[in-house]
Amino acid sequence: MKRLMHFAMSLLIIALPSSSFSAGGGGEPIVIVADTRWTSGISHWWATLYNESHLYFTIVTCIIIPVVGVIFGVITDFIMAHIGIDLTKRGHGGH
């Protein structure tokens, strides 16, 4: 176990500088700013959130995307079940 730990530590020490070298060298990343002059309502709030904090923007995005997907997925499920399609069984699939 001790040997394994030593191996893992040395691997980390060797790997870290090489990975930082490979990631570097590209200069400063381009910063995009949303133009809020032509927006209003939700769109304005959205663009402002983007400009103020990419972290909050990411959190809100990661919540909204699955929720919207599930809402419209469930609506489609409801429509297909209403038509009469059996959504509980796969049927014969073959290999």
- Residue ranges that bind other proteins, judged by CB under 8 A: 19, 22-23, 29, 31-32, 34-36, 38-39, 43-44, 46-47, 50, 54-55, 57-58, 61-62, 64-66, 68-73, 75-77, 80, 83-95
CB of 11 to other proteins, least distance (A): 13
How many angstroms separate the CA atoms of 9 and 16, rounded? Answer: 11
CB nearer to other proteins: pick between 10 and 66: 66
CB of 2 to other proteins, least distance (A): 24
**Orientation angle between helical segments 41-52 and 54-83, nearest 10 degrees:** 140
CB nearer to other proteins: pick between 3 and 90: 90
Question: Nearest 10 degrees: CA dihedral of 11, 14, 16, 21?
Answer: -150
Beta-carbon contacts of 46 under 8 Å, excluding residues fewer than 6 positions away, are 39
How many angstroms separate the CA atoms of 71 and 81, rounded? Answer: 15
CB nearer to other proteins: pick between 28 and 86: 86
